[in-house]
Amino acid sequence: MATHLETKLEIKSWDEQPYRELPDGRKFARADVVLVGTEDDLAAEGGFESLLYYSADGTSSFVTLLHLSGRLGDHSGSFVLEGSGTYDGTTAKMALTVVPGSGTDELAGLSGAATSESTQDNYPHMPLTLDYEIQ
């Protein structure tokens, strides 16, 4: 039976650096983000790295690896989520899955999927919905 968790992670820092900029305004960037979760069902710290492609109009597509370490429900350990998303100029949307075998300690055997949808109004928080199981 899957556990459904709706929480938010606090964005402690966001360091984004372009690594390729094209004359027409398109660019590629790398973001390194530090997160902290202090909700009842998720007390963890970690972060994610994203590779982003920005269109000339400022919209983007990105891929992400997110690592969290701490407590998920009644279990302690760490795990990794991988995913991709888009930014339409107003809303960032991301879909992620738990990387098989990435769970450690009491989170070994963790599987599941997550989504996040956020706007500037959410900042400095990133909403996260996670449906997971621990085998």
Q: What is the pLDDT along the chain (135 residues), one digit of tens a residue?
A: 799 999 999 999 999 999 999 999 999 999 999 999 988 788 999 999 999 999 999 999 999 999 999 999 999 999 999 999 999 999 999 999 999 999 999 999 999 999 999 999 999 999 999 999 999
- Would you state the pLDDT for residue 38? 86
pTM above 0.85, yes or no: yes
- Would you state the pLDDT for residue 32? 98
CA atoms within 13 A on the CB side of 47: 11
- Would you state the pLDDT for residue 97? 98
What is the 3-class SS of the chain, one letter each residue? CCEEEEEEEEEEEEEEEEEEECCCCCEEEEEEEEEEEEECCEEEEEEEEEEEEECCCCCEEEEEEEEEEEEECCEEEEEEEEEEEEECCCCEEEEEEECCCCCCHHHCCEEEEEEEEECHHHCCEEEEEEEEEEC
Burial 12-49 (b: 16+ CB within 10 A, else e): eeeeeeeeeeeeeeebebebebebebeeeebebbbbbe
Token digits for 23?
């004359």
- Would you state the pLDDT for residue 115? 98
- Would you state the pLDDT for residue 41? 86
The structural architecture, per CATH, of the domain 3-134 is Beta Barrel (2.40)
